[in-house]
Structure 1
Amino acid sequence: MSRHFEQAEVLRSWAHVETVLARVEADLGLIPRATAESIANTARSDWVDVEAWEREHERVGHPLVAFINVFVRACGEPAERYFHWGATSQDIMDTALVLQLQKAGELMLRDLDRLIDGLSELATKHAATYMATRTNGQYALPGTLGLRFARWAAELARAEERLRCVHRRSHLGQFYGASGTLASLGEHGPAVQRGLAESLGLELPPVNWHASRDAMVELGTATGILAQSIRNVADGLFHMQRSEVAEIHEAHAEGQIGSSTMPHKRNPFATMKISATAQTALSAASDLLRMPAPDGDRDAGNLMFEGEALERCYISTHEALEGLIDLLPRLVVDVHQLERNLETAGSASSSESVMMRLANHVGRHKAHSIVHAAVTDSVAGNRALVDVLMEDARVSEHVDRIDLEHLLSTRNYAGRAEELTHHTIAHLKTGKVS
């Protein structure tokens, strides 16, 4: 991912836009055909010299002017008169940025597909792997590990669809001149504008977006939402590796050390790094949302801020994405520990099933009160919940002991978790996300 944001790649993107611009202008008879061909030949050559650009940038203080000077020197006299004809710096830089982000987005989406596939495989594999679910840090109801993986896969599929939509919306060309009035090329301006956008495969908005950066901010925030979803998965896996939970752990390579002084430690460094890297992306997305309003009709300061934040957002999100892809095959699921934790949660974790059965006879509110009191007494007296419930005539009048034992079995109250898991994965394979 970082390659798409290296200065050499930025210079190539600027050259590509200028080359297409020259070809369009030559087609319209605005510049000589030979000049456009000379520009194209130079762009295809090994002309990129980042150090030369840096020296020129230091001298002139303007990134695109420095590029123009370096490129024209490489091209020679044919380009000196007509290169950058009728354009303004931001037209070239914005259009090139859109093309860069398009390539970066394609890489992101391709790898995101791989991550969703990995989570879907784990969901299918563990569709019937029972576990104790937790809400607010406490045991909740019996469930399955597969459903948790399916939920993560579905969340990431929504992030993928969101990012695809935002990228399609942001395929915007920019060629409107210094103040957005398209004045420099006179009557030929609209034709050059259309030709450039069509040649680059970009949409042409009806008005310039020099100082309207919503499309770029939307790209950053959609990428930030993806980073948030990646962090959700990483944090979920981190909590499952806590010593008191120990349901999953990262397989460590031979010689890998968890602590410099505690030999027993098996720290979940991979999930921690994924989470921290995703947080970097979230900070960058937040910076884009808090970007100061541009001054007037263009603001170069804003562009510097925006470009740096987008770079951090894309690179960090993709790094976290790659980390999670690499981690999934190394996850070791401790099925026995999942079962032990479910046993620890005990029959109380299925108490909702008793409440719902009893509600048919006494109403939901009263049933909840009865079962809640029974659970409290069971814990306080260290007694079996079924015994406490059977001692209450309001319960035993409607449910016998055999039914109660069946209702309180943790294996009998995972609901439709397995079915929902398979349904979710099948749904995702159709390309639908909602």
Structure 2
Amino acid sequence: MKNRMHFFDYEMYEKGFGTEEMRNLWSERGILQQWVDFEVYLAQAQAELGMIPQDVAYEITKKGNIDLIGIDKIADIFGTTNLNTVALIRAYKAICENGAGEFIHYGATSQDVLDSTLAFRIKKSLESYRADLEKIVSVLLPLADKYRNAVMAGITHGQHAIPVTFGFVVATWAQAFKEHIERIDQALPRICTGTVSGAAGNFASYNLLFGEKCWDMQVKVLEKFGLTVPPISVQPRNERFVEYMYLCSLIANTCEKIADDIVFNQRNEVMQLEEPFDTEHQICSSTMPQKRNPVLCENIKGLATLIRSNATAQGEIFHRDLRDDTPFFVEDVRMPETAILMDSMLKEMLTVFKGLKVHEENMRKNLDKDEGLLMAEPLALLLSIKSGKKDTAMRIVHKIAMESFEKKIPYEQYVKEMPELREYLTEQEIVDILNPSNYLGLTQKAIDNVIKG
């Protein structure tokens, strides 16, 4: 048995990182089969355009299976050639009959194969992420509607700010994921483009062999992969791959922000939210039986950090001149890892949202802990309306708020005793303005905008 070097390839952990579909897509076997598919599609396109005999394309297609070619054979040849595509071509040629193997990779360059199949994997990955994002949104929108009236303390800088509702918070999460779906839709045709244009991207080899109809050959090959056709060679540029990685980084940023919020809200002294927990089977400590750690959210935070790190690495590289090898070493390591990490992160995020426990009673309890202090803003604004002195009103309410906090006197009680306020406000007006449910602005409209938008 071969040694497993990467953490998520350990037998103990492999089921926890990425679906089988995603792992197969980016596996050695999956990638080599995609390279074979490229050679098959190229031969088919050339045959359709009369560039090579139909029976040649038929034989290349018939033998276009990585299991027939043999990964071990490719590995052996690579040991002497030190060029992966040549190793594939020679092993592939060896199993083709009647000289058909001579036409494999006809006129092509390695980068035609590598860039186009990488774009294909990215396309399939983005489509998977998009499907996961759609599922996440479909869970969050009903959650936002359900808790649209669940009043809680809005937090800024780790401190109570003004009242919000949990439904409002969830709607902000949902909108972020909706925008990521839009980003994917906008980026797909730009990122998922290929190349079948020869060594320097100007079709010189293909044109010499086949004439100007080689442009149609490129169109046919890329269409088979579901890729867009670039107006000019994309080989010297890797912005599309950087954009893919940065897009992953943006999604990871959203997931980590939400996971971190849930971790905070699951603290024992807060306990407003809980990620799902399998009470019967799940163990969170080898020594402390009471622990219910937010392990899913903590894992999401870790995955997000790795994804952003990989995106940074991708953004630091470029092709010198028309092409060099430097970016490939980064792409070959960072992109498969990122695909698995993204797949894992989005699946775990969906699991968290589906099983999220919401403790409304603790939201209200925590809201009431400062005994009205977070209602200082509406009080100041009402006083400014009544008195006609905005700055003076702010100064008065600030003084009252600080004194109430430092003297540990309940804010509502302290406010009612202040002559500066009673000069302008009745007791009932003070009671009404200090009611958190009366200071939610356009919360309901904003939630509806997200749900219906």
Aligned match of 1:167: 188
Q: Does 1:408 align with 2:430?
A: no
Q: Does 1:248 align with 2:273?
A: yes
Q: Distance in 1 between matches of 2:393 and 2:109?
A: 73
Paired residue type of 1:422: D
For 1:119-130, list aligned pairs within 5 A: 119-130=140-151
Kept after mapping to 1: 8 A contact 2:371/2:410: no
Shift of 1:310: 1.9
Q: Compute the TM-score of the two structures, normalised by the length of structure 2.
A: 0.89
Q: Which residue among 346, 351, 362 is the counterpart of 1:321?
A: 346
Helix, strand or coil at the partner of 2:68: coil
Q: Distance in 2 between matches of 1:299 and 1:319?
A: 32
Higher alpha-carbon deviation: 79-88 or 252-261 = 252-261
Helix, strand or coil at the partner of 1:324: helix
Kept after mapping to 2: 8 A contact 1:227/1:278: yes
Aligned match of 2:252: 227
For 1:83-162, list aligned pairs within 5 A: 83-162=104-183
Aligned match of 2:307: 281
Identity %: 26
Helix, strand or coil at the partner of 1:51: helix
Q: Distance in 2 between matches of 1:269 and 1:228?
A: 18
For 1:204-219, list aligned pairs within 5 A: 204-219=229-244
Q: Distance in 2 between matches of 1:24 and 1:189?
A: 14
Q: Which residue among 181, 198, 222 is the counterpart of 2:202?
A: 181
Aligned match of 1:237: 262
Q: Distance in 2 between matches of 1:24 and 1:246?
A: 61
Kept after mapping to 2: 8 A contact 1:144/1:418: no
Kept after mapping to 2: 8 A contact 1:21/1:192: no
Kept after mapping to 2: 8 A contact 1:282/1:313: no
Helix, strand or coil at the partner of 1:142: strand
Shift of 1:24: 1.9
Paired residue type of 2:437: R
Kept after mapping to 1: 8 A contact 2:222/2:229: no
**Alpha-carbon displacement from aligned partner over 1:236-294 (angstroms, at most 9, x marks no partner):** 11111112211112332113222222222211111101111121111111111112x32
For 1:231-380, list aligned pairs within 5 A: 231-253=256-278, 254-291=280-317, 293-360=318-385, 361-380=387-406
Aligned match of 1:430: none
Helix, strand or coil at the partner of 1:313: helix
Q: Which residue among 1, 22, 33 is the counterpart of 1:12?
A: 33
Question: Measured at CA, do residues 344 and 41 of structure 1 come closer, stay the same or move farther in structure 2, by a change above 3 Å?
Answer: same
Aligned match of 1:388: 414
Paired residue type of 2:148: A
Question: Measured at CA, do residues 190 and 150 of structure 1 come closer, stay the same or move farther in structure 2, by a change above 3 Å?
Answer: farther
Q: Distance in 1 between matches of 2:406 and 2:51?
A: 89
Shift of 1:52: 2.5
Count, aligned residues: 426
Kept after mapping to 2: 8 A contact 1:182/1:189: no
The answer for unaligned runs of 5 or more in structure 1 is 428-434
Aligned match of 1:432: none
Question: Measured at CA, do residues 44 and 265 of structure 1 come closer, stay the same or move farther in structure 2, by a change above 3 Å?
Answer: closer
Question: Measured at CA, do residues 365 and 189 of structure 1 come closer, stay the same or move farther in structure 2, by a change above 3 Å?
Answer: farther
Kept after mapping to 1: 8 A contact 2:163/2:374: yes
Helix, strand or coil at the partner of 2:152: strand
Q: Does 1:24 align with 2:50?
A: no
Question: Measured at CA, do residues 319 and 43 of structure 1 come closer, stay the same or move farther in structure 2, by a change above 3 Å?
Answer: same
Q: Distance in 2 between matches of 1:192 and 1:43?
A: 22
Q: Does 1:421 align with 2:450?
A: no
Question: Measured at CA, do residues 320 and 189 of structure 1 come closer, stay the same or move farther in structure 2, by a change above 3 Å?
Answer: farther
Q: Distance in 1 between matches of 2:105 and 2:195?
A: 14
Paired residue type of 2:83: H
Kept after mapping to 2: 8 A contact 1:129/1:144: yes
Kept after mapping to 2: 8 A contact 1:88/1:177: yes
Kept after mapping to 2: 8 A contact 1:132/1:345: no
Aligned match of 2:7: none
**Alpha-carbon displacement from aligned partner over 1:360-394 (angstroms, at most 9, x marks no partner):** 22332221111010111112222233343344443
Question: Measured at CA, do residues 189 and 343 of structure 1 come closer, stay the same or move farther in structure 2, by a change above 3 Å?
Answer: farther
Q: Which residue among 216, 220, 239 is the counterpart of 1:194?
A: 216
Paired residue type of 1:246: M
Higher alpha-carbon deviation: 296-305 or 42-51 = 42-51
Higher alpha-carbon deviation: 380-389 or 61-70 = 380-389
Q: Distance in 1 between matches of 2:66 and 2:406?
A: 80
Q: Alignment RMSD, CA only? A: 1.8
Helix, strand or coil at the partner of 1:192: helix
For 1:76-87, list aligned pairs within 5 A: 76-87=97-108
For 1:53-92, list aligned pairs within 5 A: 53-92=74-113
Question: Measured at CA, do residues 384 and 302 of structure 1 come closer, stay the same or move farther in structure 2, by a change above 3 Å?
Answer: closer
Kept after mapping to 2: 8 A contact 1:8/1:49: no
Kept after mapping to 1: 8 A contact 2:112/2:196: yes
Q: Distance in 2 between matches of 1:173 and 1:410?
A: 56
Q: Distance in 1 between matches of 2:158 and 2:30?
A: 47
Q: Compute the TM-score of the two structures, normalised by the length of structure 1.
A: 0.93
Shift of 1:44: 5.6
**Alpha-carbon displacement from aligned partner over 1:161-218 (angstroms, at most 9, x marks no partner):** 1122111212322122112232213353542233332443233323222221111111
Aligned match of 2:4: none
Kept after mapping to 2: 8 A contact 1:234/1:272: yes
